[in-house]
Structure 1
């Protein structure tokens, strides 16, 4: 069987090809799966997708009509896939249930520290041989409070780093993580966490209950000089409400590796095009905002684990096995 992989980055391609070697043939495409590209998959029983592929009902119907029966998603998140339609069409959908939590946690800290210490602005200045310190003053993290929304594996890894900095820890989740409690984390209601935290980081999945978890009210409940970091899913933050608060001069810094309307933008070169998304265009103009292109997971370690798990998902499908990675049952 030959697998068709959509949305493959140049760094990923050799890892994917090597991982599939000796198992199945794989064809890697840099284009993302959407309504325009779905017909390419005709004749491929298995397709592999990335988080910025759009698998709505029309795409799934096109895939099914072309003979595709397996969707192997190369990410933990799967909010881009209409699972009900996939199940109705008799398709199998699998994802990567976990990979290195350190990749995302470390990058979240990189964003938080970068906006706190004005790293991007400082680097831009020194490239122009401007060595002034005006406007570059940051704050010690030691002794301050980190609020962690979502204390699973990634939230725990973030909290361990925060503990190393000597920070106080506040947590919010549907269940307490004993490892975080051992670090001294105190679980509190979301409103209290937002009100008392100097740095707020998001590590929860995107689902209907968490859509715009950080809305206008939540943003207004944060400290004026707080740092907000999102390396999870863009839809967790109401971006228009965030822009409105930033226009009022609030927040020391905002680090975003994800954006709620990133599909069709992130992972692509849009440097020669006019950006029609006015919200994103405004967001990146704020000097205290740092936006990156959904790269928190992008380490050799994490991508290697994602690729290996994807190969295992394909092998499980062909050999009739079922694992925790399966979202839609085998038919």
Structure 2
């Protein structure tokens, strides 16, 4: 049974080939992202298409895939905001994802970004390599005793809360569905506005949906403490980037760490070191000394990639056999 991959990188080939030894699919990998420009290149009779976060599964694309015989769309990621689910339902295409691939990987990356920013280890690294051992300009602050707000306490947010509690932080959270284990461990759930007003550090761990697009915007930023630190390892569309830049310029945001960016499909997962980047917004962000940008790297651990490959292949096999799987995106 053939599986056609889009947005495939060498590490996708490595981990999917390893996992496929016990599944026996015919795997084909394309580096290009999936969109209207390439969808007609899918061979007729291809039953499974596997995509990633920046592939565009519009109604037009899904219609072409259905006409070519695609039965399953396998998302090797947790989010599915890039898929027109109504179109998939209309054409009888089943959609699966990987809702929990090593939540600790993303949570730990959020903490790594936070520590890098507040202790300026990236700047110290560059200085020392130039034999500059001066400490001026490297002053940081303790995480111990700070109030850390987690927006979203699913598997990733929950892992993040546990880590920050270990640092001796006061951990507060906002989520429509409070987690009883976190509450028992001392995490205090607050309405989102109260969290924003109380937190020294805010880390985003919620999915992107129409109702929370631009969750961080001019108005919500005004409710935050001056000197707030914001970390986003979830989805770029949670931040209104222009408003965030204004807040950085005014000094209201002290530190910003982002592993995601609203226009990232034109940039991330590519080597653009020899190119002129025309996106003035990302260039402006990267010009701030108190901003750290990584290229959608938070998921990128051996454990997570093994889990992504195994869960994806297992789910596809079961769906093609007409079975139900927990990883299927419910089309309602």
TM-score, length of structure 2 as denominator length: 0.95
Per-residue displacement from partner, 1:251-277 (whole Å, max 9, x unpaired)?
221110001111121111222222222
Match of 1:111 in 2: 113
CA contact (8 A) 2:34 2:56 kept: yes
Q: Distance in 2 between matches of 1:119 and 1:252?
A: 16
Structure 2 residue aligned with 1:17:
17
Match in the other structure for 1:4: 4
- Kindly indicate whether the alpha-carbon contact (under 8 Å) linking 2:148 and 2:170 is maintained by their aligned counterparts in 1: yes
Aligned with residue 77 of structure 2, among 71, 75, 78: 75
Q: Which aligned segments of 4 or more residues in structure 1 are displaced greater than 4 angstroms?
A: none
Match of 1:243 in 2: 245
Report if the CA contact (8 A) 2:200-2:229 is conserved: yes
Give the CA deviation at 1:135.
1.2
- Give 3-state SS (helix, strand or coil) of 1:12's partner: helix
What corresponds to 2:30 in structure 1? 29
Q: CA deviation at 1:328?
A: 5.3
SS of equivalent residue, structure 2 residue 253: coil
CA-CA distance at 1:231 after TM superposition = 0.5
Query: For structure 1, which runs of at least 5 residues remain unmatched after alignment?
Result: none
Q: Is the Cα–Cα contact under 8 Å of residues 42 and 63 in structure 1 kept in the other structure?
A: no
Superimposed CA distance per residue, residues 63-82 of structure 1 (whole angstroms, 9 cap, x where no aligned partner)? 22322221101011001111
202, 213, 216: which one aligns with 2:215: 213
**1:156–1:179 CA contact under 8 A, matched in 2:** no
> For 1:1-331, what aligned pairs fall within 5 Å after superposition?
1-21=1-21, 22-43=23-44, 44-327=46-329
Stretch moving more, 242-251 or 63-72: 63-72
Aligned pairs, number: 329
Query: 2:147–2:169: 8 Å Cα contact kept in structure 1?
Result: yes
Aligned-residue offset at 1:207: 0.6
Name the CA distance, whole Å, in 1 between partners of 2:129 and 2:37: 42
Cα-Cα RMSD: 1.4
Q: CA deviation at 1:314?
A: 1.2
Secondary structure at the aligned position of 2:212 is classed as: coil
Deviation at 1:56, TM superposition (A): 1.0
Distance in 1 separating the partners of 2:224 and 2:121: 23
SS in 2 for 1:4: strand
Distance 2:330 2:150 in 1: 31
Shift of 1:58: 2.2
Deviation digits for residues 210-261 of structure 1 (CA, Å, limit 9, x no counterpart): 1111111111221221211000111111111101111112322111000111
Q: Distance in 2 between matches of 1:107 and 1:262?
A: 18
